[in-house]
A and B are shown apart, each in its own frame.
Chain A
C-alpha cells in the first residue's frame, strides 16, 4: 500500500517538476511590453505645460499648504505665475487671482480665473497689481489653499 502511494506521490511530483517550470517560463515570456507613445494629444486642461524644473527655477516660490493635505507651489516673476500641485490630490482645482484673502473658504466675487492646476506646472500671465493666488476646488466648492506670490 505505502509503496503504491509513494510511487503515485513520486509520479505526481515529477509531473509537477516538469510542467511547472515550463508553465512559468511561458507565463513570464508572455508578459506585456511597455506601451509608451512618442506623442500624445495636448493637455485638454489647456495652456502649455512645461518642464517641471521651472517651478524651482523661479526665485522665491511660495508653498501653500492645502486643507486637503498636500500643497501648492507658486513661482512668480514680474510677468508670470507658475502654479503646480504637490502631494495629496484634490479634485478639479482652479487657480484664481484675488485681491485679498478672506478667512472663509469661499471664492470672492471679483476673483479672476487664471486656469486649471495640476501636478505638472502651468504658467499664467501675472495680473497687474498686488494680489494672492487662491486654489479653488470646483468639485468641493471651496478654496483649499492660498499663497502670496513674491512681489515683482
Chain B
C-alpha cells in the first residue's frame, strides 16, 4: 500500500477551533497553577507544573471522550467533533510534559536505572490501594503516544479505517489506567473528599454518557430495517426523510443511509470511508453527501467522492412505492451508479440545521449552541480544577537553596548517618545532616574524616528547625585537630522507649528538596533515595500537629536503609528507644518489628 503524506489542510474554522482550545488550556493551567500556588506558596515549581499539567490533561481527556457520545445524542455537538484530533494531540502534549517531568524528578539520579525505577522500583507494596501508580500512567502515556502519532489521516489511510479505529479505541484502556493512576497516586496522598468526588463524578459522567448513547444506538438499530416485499426493505414514508438529509436503516447488520434531495431518493452505505462517520447524519450540499464528522464528500447516485478523491461507497437500489421509500437488501459494489428514485408531490420537511465546521456557514442558532457548549465544558472543567486545586493538602514550609553554594565548617560524625556538628557561638552545637547530590547519601564523601573537623561547600535544605547540607562533590577539606577540639562534645539525653505512628521518609526530599516529599505520590522516589543512602527518618505528628523527625537506627547502631526501604511512604508503627543528640532525635529500632498500619 502506498499513500503519500499530505499536510494538514488549514481553514479558518480549524484555526478558530485551535485558538479556542489553546485559550481554554491556558486558562485551565492558570486556574489550577494559580490556586495551587496561592494555597501552597512553598511548593516547588516542579510540583506545580506536574500537577497543573496532569490535571489539565486529565480534564481535557474527559472532554474528548464526551464529544463522541454527545454527538450521537445531539448532532448540534458536531462542530466540536470536527477537529477533535487537535484536542487529542494537545492532551497528549500536556500529559507528555507531566510524565516527562515526573520521570526525571522521581526516577533519575539514583542507584538504579530510571526505567527500572519507574517500572520496578516501587516494589514491596500490599493491598489493592498499594499498587504502584506510576507504571499505570506510563502505560497510558504510551497508548496516548501511539494515538497522537497515528492521528493524521495519512495513518488512517495506511492502516485502513477498521485497524485505525480499533487502535484508537484503546483510548478507553488509557482512560481506565489514568483513573487508577490518579486514584492510586494522588488520591492516596491527598485524602480529603473533594478530589475523590471530582474524579469519581468524572468517571460516572463518562460511563453514564456512553451507556445512554449506546442504548439510543441499539434502539435505532432495532427500530430501523423492517423487511418488506422480498428483497426490498421499507425505510418509511418519504415525507419523513428530511430534504437534503437522510434516514438510516440497518440492512443485514450494516447501516444504509437513504438520502432525499431534489425530489429524488438515493441510498449508500452510511459508513464514511474516512473514520466510519455516520453519513446518514450528514446532509447534501452542492449535490454531494457531506460527512458530518470531517466533511468527506460523496455523490449520492454512485457513492463516489468527487474528483480528485477516490473514496467509493457501496450503493443500494432504491424504489418509491405508495409514498414509502424501499431499499434493496443487498449492496452493490462500491461506486456502482444507481438511478435515483423519483418522488412526486410529497411534503418536504425542514432540513435539519447544523453546522460541521466546513462548507456553508453556521446558522445563528447553531453558533449560539456551539458557543454555549464550549463555554459550558470549559466552565465545568475550570470549576473541577479549581475545586481540586483549592482542596490540596497543605504542604510544608521548606526550602532547598538549589544552585546556591555556601561554605560550612564543623565536625563530622557518623550516627551512623553522616552529620556535621557545628559550634553555636555562645555554647552548644547544632547538628546538620549531610547528603550527596542526586539520590545519594554522603557517607562516601566524608567517612574518611569521621570524628574530625572539615570544611565543605554545599547547598542548604531546611524545614522547620531541621537543617541539611547537600555536599558539593570534591569540596571536603579536612581541618586541623585544634579546630576539631573547638566543637563541644555532644549533649546526649535518653528519652526512653516509645511507640510512635508515622511515616518513614527519605530525609532529603522530605526536608525540602521536593515538596511534597512524602506519602504515596513520593514513594517510588523515596525508595530510590533510601536505596542510595539518604538517611531514613520517621516523621510523626501529635494531636496538635507538632512535628518531630527521628533518624532511624538499627539496634547495633548501623543504618537501616535496606531493611526499611519497602515500608516508606505508608503509615507505620515503630517502637524503640529515643535519644536526643544535641538538637536531633534518634530512634533505635529492630527493623523487623516495624509494623505497617
Chain A residues in the interface with B (C-beta under 8 A):
1-3, 5-6, 8-10, 12-13, 16-17, 19-21, 23-24, 26-33, 35-46, 49, 89-94, 96, 107, 111-113, 116, 118-120, 136, 138-141
Given contacts A35-B597, A91-B399, contact A40 B276 (CB under 8 A): no
CB distance from B26 to the nearest CB of A (A): 30
> Does B424 count as interface, using CB distance less than 8 angstroms?
yes
> Does B76 count as interface, using CB distance less than 8 angstroms?
no
Given contacts A16-B207, A40-B542, contact A28 B424 (CB under 8 A): no
Given contacts A32-B571, A44-B584, A96-B426, contact A24 B462 (CB under 8 A): no
**A24–B129 CB distance below 8 A:** no
**B128–A26 CB distance below 8 A:** yes
**A120–B397 CB distance below 8 A:** no
Q: For this complex, into which size category does the number of interface residues on chain B fall?
A: 35 or more
Given contacts A20-B179, A33-B571, A89-B463, contact A38 B543 (CB under 8 A): yes
Q: Which residues of A contact B254 (CB under 8 A)?
A: 1-3
> Does B425 count as interface, using CB distance less than 8 angstroms?
yes
Known: A112-B426, A139-B460. 14 other contacts (CB 8 A): A5-B162, A13-B172, A16-B207, A23-B128, A24-B183, A26-B129, A32-B519, A32-B520, A36-B541, A41-B578, A42-B580, A113-B425, A119-B464, A140-B406
Chain B stretch 160-204: residues in CB contact (< 8 A) with chain A:
162, 165-166, 169, 172-173, 175-176, 179-180, 183-184, 187-188, 191, 196, 199-200, 203-204
CA distance A33 to B253 in the complex (A): 53
Q: Which residues of A contact B584 (CB under 8 A)?
A: 44
CB distance from B538 to the nearest CB of A (A): 10
CB distance from B133 to the nearest CB of A (A): 9
Q: Which residues of B contact A12 (CB under 8 A)?
A: 169, 172-173
**A21–B460 CB distance below 8 A:** no
> Does B403 count as interface, using CB distance less than 8 angstroms?
no
CB distance from B500 to the nearest CB of A (A): 6
Q: Which residues of A contact B578 (CB under 8 A)?
A: 41
> Does B427 count as interface, using CB distance less than 8 angstroms?
yes
Q: Which residues of A contact B276 (CB under 8 A)?
A: 2, 5
CA distance A35 to B465 in the complex (A): 22
Given contacts A41-B580, A44-B584, A96-B426, contact A30 B130 (CB under 8 A): yes
CB distance from B444 to the nearest CB of A (A): 23
Q: Which residues of B contact A138 (CB under 8 A)?
A: 422, 424, 430
**A36–B128 CB distance below 8 A:** no
CB distance from B345 to the nearest CB of A (A): 35
CB distance from B36 to the nearest CB of A (A): 19
Q: Which residues of B contact A42 (CB under 8 A)?
A: 495, 580
CB distance from B567 to the nearest CB of A (A): 13
Given contacts A30-B129, A31-B191, A107-B425, contact A20 B176 (CB under 8 A): yes
**A136 to chain B: closest residue by CB:** B425
Chain B residues in the interface with A (C-beta under 8 A):
42, 127-130, 162, 165-166, 169, 172-173, 175-176, 179-180, 183-184, 187-188, 191, 196, 199-200, 203-204, 207, 210-211, 214, 217, 253-255, 271, 276, 397-399, 406, 408, 422, 424-428, 430, 432, 460, 462-465, 467, 495, 498, 500-503, 519-520, 540-543, 546, 548, 550, 570-571, 578, 580, 582-585, 597
CA distance A145 to B253 in the complex (A): 82
Sample (29) of A-B pairs whose CB atoms are under 8 Å apart: A2-B254, A2-B276, A3-B253, A5-B276, A12-B172, A17-B210, A21-B204, A24-B199, A26-B128, A27-B129, A27-B183, A27-B187, A27-B188, A28-B187, A28-B196, A35-B503, A36-B501, A39-B542, A40-B548, A41-B580, A44-B583, A92-B430, A92-B465, A107-B425, A136-B425, A138-B424, A139-B406, A139-B460, A140-B406
**A89–B207 CB distance below 8 A:** no
**B207–A20 CB distance below 8 A:** yes
Q: Which residues of A contact B408 (CB under 8 A)?
A: 139
Q: Which residues of B contact A10 (CB under 8 A)?
A: 214
Residue in A16, A31, A90, A92 whose CB lies within 8 Å of B187: A31
**B184–A16 CB distance below 8 A:** no
Residue in B166, B211, B550 whose CB lies within 8 Å of A8: B166
**A120–B546 CB distance below 8 A:** yes
CA distance A118 to B583 in the complex (A): 13
Q: Which residues of B contact A140 (CB under 8 A)?
A: 406, 460
**A37–B179 CB distance below 8 A:** no
